[in-house]
Amino acid sequence: MKSGAMRQERLSVFSEALAVICVALVALPIAWMVVQGFLPNRAIVSNGWTFPFWLGNFQELFGAGSPFAREIVNSVVITAGTVLLCVLVGSITGYVLALLHPPRWLAAIALGLSALLPIVPPMVLVPGLYITMSRLDLIGSLLGLILLNTVFNLPFAALLMLNFFSQSPAELREAALVDGASEVGAFLRVMLPLSRPAVSAVGIYTAIMAWNEFLMGLTMTSGGAQAPLTVGIAGLVQPYSVTWGAMAAAGTVAAVPLVVLTIFAGRQIVAGLTAGALKG
Amino acid sequence: MVRSAPREKTSDGFNMDQGVVGFATETESQPPAQGTSTRGKRRRGGGRGTRLWAIVGLAPFVAFMLVFAIYPFGQLLWMSLSDTSQRGAGFQSSWAGFTNFVAVWGSRLDMQSILVTTLFVVLAVSITIVLGTALALMMRRVVAMRRVLQSVILWPAVVTPVAISVLWLLIFSPTVGVWNKLLGTFGVPGQQWLNTELGAFVLVVFIDVWHWTPLVFLVVFTALLGIDSGLYEAARIDGASERKITMSIVLPSLRPAIAVAALLRLVMAVKAFDEMYLLTRGGPNHATNLISLQIHSLFFDNLEFGHAAAFGIYVVLIVVVIALLGFGSYRLLGNVRATRKQAMR
């Protein structure tokens, strides 16, 4: 009995130690990048271990003639637009599929596309998308990137909302209808306010996806002031470049908001990621 | 608690008013749709108006998919069957039959990228699943570190993949990487991994494992926390060893979570692009040239539009077949298990 208790204790000490190691393995590489962002190039390139604090990388990134600030604004606009569209269209779609009994064939099409699109590698669609976007004159435009980000996140948003609404008390909608509310009113005033947790999971998840998106920004813009932040950073990653410090600083600018987000919205992120896992 | 109280009230109200409002009878003849089992026997609210709203409500979603998924896919199909070239700002194409599809079989780089992707997917998925599950099992007793762990472990999953490429470049770059600095400090000659075929491939798999093991860990860890601890207690009182408990109680109840994580990882690994594009550009000598990189270079560098499209169509076919096989075998396994359980009773 006693040895059993001791074993339990040893196991839990082992658990805690392993957790410390895992946290270090995750955090140290990220911390290293942040540190490099505050170093001049000669310190990064040198063989020694000196860490002279320096803000020049950031001054260079945000200096005149650099598109970096513009690219951050682009990313913010793309993220905001994508979140708005995904929450709006996703919640309506999920609501209709869960509660309004659309014609079978229509529901089958919507569900089939939601299952198929997430498993196709986006790069496969890029040639077709490129032609579509150039026909619509959306190459190099923020609106184009908002629409593309929305398309690739919409299946997840719709399925998560569908999942939420099919578990919510449908009688509330029926009661609202009986009380004289219109179908739109029942959705906007009764059911949507009820779905705040699901909406915030969708919003946070799509925000992360849109902020991190790289492929569409790379292929549908010609870089520079048209591009999102991720493409701007990629432009700094050259095989023989000497702008290591600027590269690290730019990576830091992209990463830090997300790290901060995990502190404030960790629970919603886990909900979004695991629901995304279940539905994706 | 909040949910059950209004449910009683509203369902009463609904039943009372049902006769007055007189719902259209056509709704009754419809078979119950999915997700309505709890109230499938009751009459559903809504007649013709609801049906109209349902169609209107689905319109934006379907329109999005038509314009930005179906239409581009049609363009892709058309491009794969034609000889397309760029004329000024637009494209010009003429019918080419199946020459592009035949050309894929003759392309050594296409075949190599499929091989490289297969290797990458098998290694990256299996390592992340085994490692993530093992770590979750080993850390299920974590108490003091739990909050920190659950927050920090999220970082790789949410931090921009482009930034992740940057940070690993800062570590493994042959010229400025801290790994070589460390080796140099201990008098070991620096590595050139990113410049060798095997080294670059191993690094790309390693970075993917670092990137996504936390996600597997989170999915499995969340499922672990959901297992009724009474189960452990009962087994422990019955004298089962820790290993026995893990193997015959914990792992079986984790099976759905692990399957979901594996499916998700599979889909993600097939899509992989960002890190390799930035770290290796598919090189050296195409050793890390995944299918996404191959399509990218066919389309944007070689301007072989038809070839890129045909290769993409093959990829879609492969992905769909694998998905159907995976789904089918999972259901088959479930059926086998169910019948075995019944037989044991």
Model pLDDT for residues B110-131, shown as the tens digit of each residue: 899 999 999 999 999 999 999 9
Q: Tell me the per-residue pLDDT of A199-216, one tens digit each, with 9 for 90 and over.
A: 988 999 899 999 999 999
A230 closest CA partner among A29, A66, A76: A76
| B98 in contact with A, Cβ within 8 Å | no
User: Which residue in B14, B68, B319 is closest to A132 by CB distance?
Assistant: B68
If contacts are CB pairs under 8 Å, which of residues 122-181 in chain B contact chain A? 135, 138-146, 148-163, 165-171, 175-176, 178, 181
pLDDT at site A130: 92
pLDDT at site B19: 32
Task: Give the CA count within 13 Å in the CB-facing half-sphere of B212.
Answer: 27
Task: Give the CA count within 13 Å in the CB-facing half-sphere of A237.
Answer: 27
Q: Which two tokens stand for residue A91?
A: 């919640």
Q: CA geometry: angle at A26 spanning A22 and A31, to 5°?
A: 135
Q: Which two tokens stand for residue A48?
A: 């020694």
pLDDT at site B247: 83
pTM of the predicted structure, to 2 decimals: 0.85
Distances (CA, A) of B214 to A113, B123, B124, B152, B221: 29, 16, 13, 9, 10
Q: Which two tokens stand for residue A43?
A: 């310190």
Q: How far apart are CA B158 and CA B152, in angstroms?
A: 10
If contacts are CB pairs under 8 Å, which of residues 218-237 in chain A contact chain B? 218-219, 229-230, 233-234, 237
A132 closest CA partner among B28, B2, B160, B71: B71
Q: How far apart are CA B73 and CA B79, in angstroms?
A: 10
Q: B202 near B290, Cβ under 8 Å?
A: no
Using DSSP, state whether B92 is helix, strand or coil: strand
A 10 A CB-CB count for B178 gives 18
Confidence of residue B322 (pLDDT cuts 50, 70, 90): confident
Q: Which two tokens stand for residue A5?
A: 């208790």
Q: How far apart are CA A180 and CA A3, in angstroms?
A: 69
Query: Out of A233-237, A271-275, B20-24, B337-341, which region has the weakest mean confidence (pLDDT)?
Result: B20-24
User: Which residue in B62, B141, B166 is closest to A248 by CB distance?
Assistant: B166
Q: How far apart are CA A89 and CA A84, in angstroms?
A: 9
Counting beta carbons within 10 angstroms of the beta carbon of residue B115, is it exposed (0 to 12), middle (13 to 18) or buried (19 or more)? exposed
Whether A143 shows a pLDDT value over 70: the answer reads: yes
A228 closest CA partner among A238, A214, A208, A239: A214
Helices of type H across chain B: 4-21, 26-29, 48-65, 71-80, 99-106, 108-138, 146-152, 155-158, 161-172, 178-185, 197-225, 229-237, 242-245, 251-271, 274-279, 291-296, 305-344
Whether B30 shows a pLDDT value over 50: the answer reads: no
pLDDT at site A4: 66
